[in-house]
């Protein structure tokens, strides 16, 4: 008998619905991926053509949950896609993942990033029973550092030339939170 596909988990917060990506989300995600400010610290160059985003969105739909999973961060009322959250570098059996996130520049600084990432972490530490979540963040990415520090992640050091974007090598700060960390200990 063919294996039954496990449905993509839907995570809800007061203002958001985190759900599986759909092909129709491509124009909204293009607003993010084509924006040089939003892409300044991302791990790929700025998109110049909608087709690039359409291809990426297809990859976000086709997740391999034991290794990586993307959620579209959608407005709870209109269901419009406002960005993404993900875990990747996943070793679910080893109970460790890395995480990533992006919010549409037009909707930043409204607390949506914290709301979305917090919901995904609850899922990771709760449903998936993970032990460690980590984030790789460029030292100049103030917004991302603030967000992750507010969520109880601790900085564990600088990784030199950890990421290659186009022809450039970039440093990253390694942040992590353990399931056993208590809020306020960071």
Residues within the interface to ligand COA (CB under 6 A): 38, 41-42, 100-103, 108-114, 137, 141-144, 146-147, 150
Q: In the complex with ligand COA, which residue's Cβ is closer, 20 or 108?
A: 108
| Min dist. Cβ of residue 179 to ligand COA (A) | 21
| Min dist. Cβ of residue 123 to ligand COA (A) | 17
The Cβ of residue 34 has, within 10 Å, a number of other Cβ atoms equal to 16
Q: In the complex with ligand COA, which residue's Cβ is closer, 93 or 109?
A: 109
In angstroms, the Cα distances linking 183 to 45, 85, 151, 178 are 35, 21, 8, 11
Per the CB < 8 A criterion, the answer to whether 184 and 149 are in contact is no
- Which residue is closest to ligand COA by CB? 113
| Min dist. Cβ of residue 125 to ligand COA (A) | 19
Angle at CA of residue 52, ends 107 and 145, nearest 5°: 40
User: Please, which residues have CB within 8 angstroms of residue 59's CB and are 6 or more apart in sequence?
Assistant: none
| Min dist. Cβ of residue 1 to ligand COA (A) | 41
């Amino acid at each position: 008998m063919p294996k039954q596909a496990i449905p993509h988990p839907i995570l809800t917060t007061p203002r958001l619905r985190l759900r599986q990506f759909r092909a129709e989300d491509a124009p909204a995600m293009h607003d993010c991926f084509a924006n040089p400010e939003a892409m300044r610290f991302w791990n790929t160059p700025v998109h110049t053509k909608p087709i690039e985003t359409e291809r990426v969105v297809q990859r976000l739909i086709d997740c391999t949950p034991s290794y990586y999973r993307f959620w579209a961060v959608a407005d709870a009322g209109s269901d419009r896609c406002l960005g993404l959250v993900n875990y990747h570098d996943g070793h679910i059996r080893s109970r460790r993942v890395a995480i990533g996130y992006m919010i549409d520049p037009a909707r930043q600084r409204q607390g949506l990033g914290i709301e979305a990432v917090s919901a995904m972490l609850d899922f990771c530490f709760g449903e998936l029973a993970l032990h460690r979540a980590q984030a790789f963040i460029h030292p100049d990415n103030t917004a991302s550092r603030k967000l992750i520090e507010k969520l109880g992640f601790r900085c564990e050091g600088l990784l030199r030339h950890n990421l290659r974007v186009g022809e450039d090598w970039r440093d990253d700060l390694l942040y992590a939170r353990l399931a056993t960390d208590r809020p306020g200990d960071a």
